[in-house]
Amino acid sequence: MKSQRQAKILEIISMKDIETQEQLLEALQENGYFSTQATISRDIKELRIVKELTSFGTYRYTTPAKEGVGTFSTRLNTIFRECILSFDYAKNLIVIKTMPGLASAAGAAIDAMNMSVVVGTLAGDDTVLVVMRDNNAAATFCGEIKSLLG
pLDDT at 65: 58
Flag the least confident range among 28-32, 113-117, 126-130.
113-117
Tell me the per-residue pLDDT of 46-94, one tens digit each, with 9 for 90 and over: 888 888 887 788 888 988 655 444 445 566 667 777 788 999 999 999 9
Question: Sorting pLDDT into bands at 50, 70 and 90, what band is 127?
Answer: very high
Quick check: 73 and 87 in contact, CB under 8 A? no
Mean pLDDT, residues 31-54: 89
Amino acid occupying residue 1: M
Q: For the stretch 23-62, what's the b/e string if a residue is b when 16 or more beta carbons lie within 10 angstroms of its beta carbon?
A: bbbebbeeeebebeeeebeebbeebebeeeeeeeeeebbb
Higher local confidence (pLDDT), 21 or 63: 21
If you compute the radius of gyration of the chain from its CA atoms, what whole number of angstroms results? Answer: 20
pLDDT at 144: 82
Q: Which residues, including other chains, have CB under 8 Å from residue 102's CB and lie 6 or more apart?
A: 79, 82, 83, 126
Quick check: 109 and 148 in contact, CB under 8 A? no
pLDDT at 24: 94
What is the percentage of the chain residues whose pLDDT exceeds 90?
Answer: 43
Higher local confidence (pLDDT), 120 or 3: 120
pLDDT at 75: 62
Q: Give all strands of the β-sheet with 118-123 in edge-to-edge order.
A: 84-90, 93-98, 127-132, 118-123
In this prediction the pTM is 0.52
User: Does residue 121 carry a pLDDT above 50?
Assistant: yes
pLDDT at 74: 65
Torsion (CA) 69, 71, 72, 77 in degrees, nearest 10: 120
Chain CA centroid to CA 71, Å: 9
Dist CA 93 CA 130 (whole Å): 6
pLDDT at 73: 59
